[in-house]
Chains A and B, each alone.
Chain A
């Protein structure tokens, strides 16, 4: 906290300069292609009808506003005391009061009709050609393809914007905060059903151009769907406050042609096959260590430090757990430590990765257990 205060204090003088520098930039904003004023029309039929609905209500409101403010400004200009206006004394009229109760009511009915039909369209989940299970994690998304041809295909999608861009030590690229390591891929012109849930807290899966926003509620599955009419990359963000890094869990959807989708899928299948075969394999120490190092750097290092010295998490170097029973170590890796930042990685890493990273932790950073964990051990541990 006091750190925050100090930072604020330090920033204050620089701030005034910033205001001046930046207001110069504002003038140049006009030709910025990315700049948008309105809701995107989107690339789905539903998106189009929501956009139309949005514009209809907007214009109705503008017209009513113009009328109301028009009357008001007429009074403000012409019924001023300083112009010598004398006050009338009327103070009720049942007729006009009924009129301005009934007319808005009728207008509302006019809005409710298209709104209802759009909503009914949105709630039509039937005839979806494929299902994708989307699970929100703090702070990443997991995608699982549920149909037969998608069996075994599941992956996490993490934000890939580097810290250096966020903390302003490097220029920001044009997809700043809206880029991920692995986007979810769907075929064009196909009705895709999204089953949305969460693993920890509530998240919300939002892609404006697909006109889809659905809350991911832990323990419940929500349905929604989209049928994209155009190939392209569509970006969105988590839309429900989900803790510290809520602002850093983007959604990227890659809409590709059906052919491209098929070949992407077979590639993914092959990958999955490979992992499957790896699962059954026994690895050498060297293999485990090199795989484990990679996993460690990707998944653990942020909290446990580059050389296991600890940080948000406890030190791995010399840790009682990492130099104790394998079972205990595996247990923490798989199930996490409830109530702490140490999550259950059992569902996020596959057995090969888990085996490798545990082995790595036991034999790196000066830990020297000399023992190995094989994928089958992880599998057995999970089975209990």
Chain B
């Protein structure tokens, strides 16, 4: 037997060689925050250039590189790793497991991420510049017409995929195999459920993305013709493969966020989650549907009408299970005993803004209308509502909610609330006007725009700086809490919180549940 009843090792080796789910979770969380700042800085350059018409700060080619890296870094570097970090920290504690199922592999999944992003970022300094073909890297702009640095981009994607696949295999094995006795599937906290389903999505689609970039590699360097009509291939084939990955990817981003919200809203409503079972089924339904809607990103590529109709109907259907979730959250609040600490504020913000983003998603799914919306700022507004106000807000909520458990200290509530309000206002100033310019005809991914879009763009830029600045507050609050926050004495921290993670001491010891806890069979679910 390994003697593991000790604390962490000292110094750097603790982090490099660790097999502890909490250490690995912590590394993921810090790494993703660093990437959030990096991706956010790219966004600031975008918004600064778009502050007024005309080219002021950067060259058009460099602007495209910023857009591309912003999307890639945010999606693959900030959001996904942040939720993997959360999964690492919380899943074992939520299901009463001592650690993740495959701890050494867990460490490896993390450690290949930083060099992959280093490689991606280093393309900025390469001859010909960084990839400038958008985070969706459509061929042939990303193959025949790409700068040489695209090869590094391709390998970086391979490594990210490897990391995600190993991470999800680990999560699946943990959830399927490491639950404490009595923790049946339908007793698992929703965060665990959403992650289990997310992990399935990841194992299913990351290899497809790997296939797509492999075909690119072959087209660029080895003379194949997958994406070239001259050789009998088709550039649109790339889009089909990409979006077969890409659409499930956006639910990979949002499902864990759903899980977080489903943990926090009941806690601050002091009332059990409404419709637990239907939440689980809705999550599964969304995951299933996500595989058959990919071409709603491609309404304008010239699909036959039968294809347009199929993908339109299938996409619209997603509103039903997502609606079930929204209604369940609202009903959980209904006749609760609500209080609005920072995590709850972020969840309410999530609920409102995500729903708005969902509505615009539904509008986009209407194929004929999408002929006007497509590749305009309306789409940009849509996906920032679901990804920033969805994923990032819920991640902020999660950090405030569990931080006291992680480090045994309470964050500054006033500062937290201030963070929320500045974020909420800044976010809306940034992205609400983008609906208008998009509808009025402003295409996305342009470094300069016609004069009638000037005012709203300026507003958007000002909002972006406000929203960005509010993240400094967040960072400060978290660091101050860890260093010198007020110690928390109560294991439960929040009076309404439910779940095994609140039964362990605060701060959570280095090893928890070395002996499995006993699950109260009478309890419906935790």
- Contact among B124, B371, B455 with A50 in the assembled complex (CB-CB below 8 Å): B371
Count of B residues near A, CB < 8 Å?
106
Contacting residues, chain B, for A18 (C-beta < 8 A): 51-52
A324 part of interface (Cβ distance < 8 Å): no
Interface centre among A178, A201, A217 (most CB of B within 10 A): A201
- Contact among A11, A75, A97, A222 with B334 in the assembled complex (CB-CB below 8 Å): A75
- Contact among A1, A65, A138, A235 with B359 in the assembled complex (CB-CB below 8 Å): A65
Stretch from A27-35, A260-268, A295-303, A368-376 that touches the partner = A27-35
Question: How far does the Cβ of B124 sit from chain A's closest Cβ, in whole Å?
Answer: 6
B362 part of interface (Cβ distance < 8 Å): yes
Q: With CB as the reference atom, state the residue of chain B lying closest to A174.
A: B451
- Contact among A23, A68, A88 with B271 in the assembled complex (CB-CB below 8 Å): A88
Docked Cα-Cα span, A64 to B456, in Å, equals: 27
A8 part of interface (Cβ distance < 8 Å): yes
Contacting residues, chain B, for A212 (C-beta < 8 A): 371
Contact B64 A119 (CB under 8 A): no
B214 part of interface (Cβ distance < 8 Å): no
B504 part of interface (Cβ distance < 8 Å): no
Contact A239 B59 (CB under 8 A): no
Count of A residues near B, CB < 8 Å?
107
- Contact among A7, A22, A81 with B458 in the assembled complex (CB-CB below 8 Å): A22
Question: How far does the Cβ of B318 sit from chain A's closest Cβ, in whole Å?
Answer: 10
Docked Cα-Cα span, A29 to B125, in Å, equals: 40
Give A123-164 as 1s and 0s: 1 = Cβ < 8 Å from B's Cβ atoms.
100000000000000100000000000000000000000000
Stretch from B28-36, B133-141, B383-391, B472-480 that touches the partner = B133-141
Contact A19 B462 (CB under 8 A): yes
Q: With CB as the reference atom, state the residue of chain B lying closest to A219.
A: B229
Q: Contacts A68-B355, A177-B449 given: A75-B60 contact, CB under 8 Å?
A: no
Contacting residues, chain A, for B368 (C-beta < 8 A): 49-50, 53, 115, 118-119, 122
Contact B129 A1 (CB under 8 A): yes
Q: Contacts A19-B462, A53-B368, A213-B300 given: A100-B323 contact, CB under 8 Å?
A: yes
Docked Cα-Cα span, A174 to B274, in Å, equals: 55
Contacting residues, chain B, for A86 (C-beta < 8 A): 337
Contact B324 A97 (CB under 8 A): yes
B352 part of interface (Cβ distance < 8 Å): yes
Contact A115 B61 (CB under 8 A): no
- Contact among A32, A108, A178, A217 with B320 in the assembled complex (CB-CB below 8 Å): A108
Contact A89 B272 (CB under 8 A): yes
Docked Cα-Cα span, A334 to B153, in Å, equals: 33
Question: How far does the Cβ of A217 sit from chain B's closest Cβ, in whole Å?
Answer: 6
Q: Contacts A23-B462, A108-B320, A115-B312 given: A218-B51 contact, CB under 8 Å?
A: no
- Contact among B60, B234, B452 with A248 in the assembled complex (CB-CB below 8 Å): B60
Docked Cα-Cα span, A91 to B277, in Å, equals: 10
Contact A92 B312 (CB under 8 A): no
Contact B323 A26 (CB under 8 A): no
- Contact among B54, B59, B228, B366 with A57 in the assembled complex (CB-CB below 8 Å): B366
Q: Contacts A22-B51, A79-B334 given: A244-B64 contact, CB under 8 Å?
A: yes
- Contact among B60, B274, B336 with A245 in the assembled complex (CB-CB below 8 Å): B60
Q: With CB as the reference atom, state the residue of chain A lying closest to B130.
A: A1
Stretch from A180-188, A202-210, A269-277, A355-363 that touches the partner = A202-210
Q: Contacts A15-B48, A18-B52 given: A85-B336 contact, CB under 8 Å?
A: yes
A101 part of interface (Cβ distance < 8 Å): yes
- Contact among B271, B326, B339 with A80 in the assembled complex (CB-CB below 8 Å): B339
Contacting residues, chain A, for B337 (C-beta < 8 A): 79-81, 85-87
Give A286-316 as 1s and 0s: 1 = Cβ < 8 Å from B's Cβ atoms.
0000000000000000000000000000000
Question: How far does the Cβ of B346 sit from chain A's closest Cβ, in whole Å?
Answer: 14
Q: Contacts A18-B51, A116-B309, A243-B64 given: A219-B446 contact, CB under 8 Å?
A: no
Q: Which of B258-295 contact A (CB under 8 A)?
A: 269-278
B313 part of interface (Cβ distance < 8 Å): yes
B338 part of interface (Cβ distance < 8 Å): yes
Docked Cα-Cα span, A204 to B313, in Å, equals: 24
Q: With CB as the reference atom, state the residue of chain A lying closest to B439.
A: A39
Contacting residues, chain A, for B367 (C-beta < 8 A): 115, 119
Contacting residues, chain A, for B18 (C-beta < 8 A): none
Contacting residues, chain B, for A248 (C-beta < 8 A): 60, 448
B132 part of interface (Cβ distance < 8 Å): yes
- Contact among A4, A37, A172 with B53 in the assembled complex (CB-CB below 8 Å): A172
Q: Contacts A115-B312, A240-B375 given: A50-B369 contact, CB under 8 Å?
A: yes
- Contact among B54, B319, B336, B362 with A79 in the assembled complex (CB-CB below 8 Å): B336
Contact B274 A90 (CB under 8 A): yes
B469 part of interface (Cβ distance < 8 Å): no
Contacting residues, chain B, for A68 (C-beta < 8 A): 326-327, 330, 355
Contact B352 A69 (CB under 8 A): yes
Q: Contacts A89-B271, A97-B275, A177-B448 given: A79-B51 contact, CB under 8 Å?
A: no
Docked Cα-Cα span, A122 to B372, in Å, equals: 13
Question: How far does the Cβ of A43 sit from chain B's closest Cβ, in whole Å?
Answer: 14
Contact B313 A218 (CB under 8 A): no
B415 part of interface (Cβ distance < 8 Å): no
Contact A206 B443 (CB under 8 A): yes
Give A229-243 as 1s and 0s: 1 = Cβ < 8 Å from B's Cβ atoms.
000000111111111
Q: With CB as the reference atom, state the residue of chain A lying closest to B458.
A: A22
B508 part of interface (Cβ distance < 8 Å): no
- With A25-B455, A96-B331 given, name 13 new contacts (CB 8 A): A36-B452, A53-B366, A54-B363, A85-B338, A88-B271, A138-B145, A166-B448, A168-B55, A202-B138, A202-B235, A208-B440, A215-B302, A220-B302
Q: List 27 A-B contacts (CB under 8 A).
A: A4-B57, A7-B57, A8-B48, A22-B51, A37-B439, A37-B440, A65-B356, A69-B355, A75-B335, A76-B338, A76-B348, A87-B335, A91-B275, A91-B524, A92-B275, A96-B331, A97-B278, A115-B368, A120-B305, A122-B371, A167-B55, A177-B53, A213-B375, A222-B302, A239-B376, A241-B64, A248-B448
Chain B residues in the interface with A (C-beta under 8 A): 45, 48, 51-62, 64, 124-125, 129, 132-134, 138, 140-141, 144-145, 228-230, 234-236, 269-278, 300-302, 305, 308-309, 312-313, 316-317, 319-320, 323-324, 326-327, 330-340, 348, 351-352, 355-356, 359-360, 362-363, 366-369, 371-372, 374-376, 436, 439-441, 443, 445-452, 455-456, 458-459, 462, 524
The 6 A-B residue pairs with the shortest CB-CB distance in the complex, in nearest-first order: A219-B229, A247-B446, A34-B452, A222-B302, A36-B440, A61-B359
